[in-house]
Amino acid sequence: MSLISVPRRMRRIRVTAATWLRVMGYFCATLVICKAVPTALAGPPYVTDDPDPVDPQHFELNIAVQYSHDADGSSGAAPRTELNYGPVENLQIGIAVPVSYDDPEDGRTHVGLGDLELSAKYRFIQETATRPMVAFFPSASLNTGDVHKSLGAGKKAYFLPLWLQKSWDDDKWTTFGGGG
């Protein structure tokens, strides 16, 4: 038992400062790596996506951290694990499982399963010299998280986006995006 009571807001300042120092350390390490490595490859998770599905009979595992902070507290997913599989050419199926958390400024912290996401990506137009690659990527977010603990939305959500991608100059430049 502590003889000195530190208000929760002040405890957050110390955590925020430590987080800031870690982020700055990662930033500096990234600058060093970028200077040392002439090229780098990046991948999901994106706020956007690309139309290129996983190769047939292959898996893809993406692990991410999502974080949000405002005056009411912090929330997110740590980790958000996504597993994709390519059963056949031009098709990808996937499931995303977030371990969600909610840490309100005034209240109890909750951690648990968030809303599961199921998806299928179907590429129906292949890229050519003059035509972009196009895929349909429907997904559903199932209300598996406990809405009363702010670990889920409390309702199902469906997304029906189209994604496009075009490369130039022998694949040295690529742009992709879409929505729906």
pLDDT tens sequence across 90-131: 999 999 999 999 999 888 999 999 999 999 999 999 999 899
Question: Mean per-residue pLDDT for 146-168?
Answer: 92
Specify the pLDDT at position 67.
85
Residue 141: pLDDT over 70? yes
Entry pTM: 0.70
* C-alpha torsion angle, residues 42, 45, 47, 50 (rounded to 10): 60
Instruction: Give the position of tokens 């409390």.
Output: 154
pLDDT band at 3 (very low <50, low <70, confident <90, very high): very low
Which amino acid belongs to residue 15? V
How far apart are the C-alpha atoms of 49 and 36, rounded to whole Å? 28
Instruction: Report the greatest alpha carbon distance in the chain.
Output: 72
Specify the pLDDT at position 107.
87
pLDDT in tens, 160-176: 999 999 998 887 888 88
pLDDT in tens, 41-96: 555 555 667 899 999 999 999 988 888 888 889 998 888 999 999 999 999 999 99
Question: Mean per-residue pLDDT for 12-17?
Answer: 50
Q: Give the torsion sign (CA, 87, 99, 26, 48).
A: positive
Q: Which residues pair with 124 in a beta bridge?
A: none
Going by the DSSP 8-state scheme, the letter that residue 169 receives in this structure is T
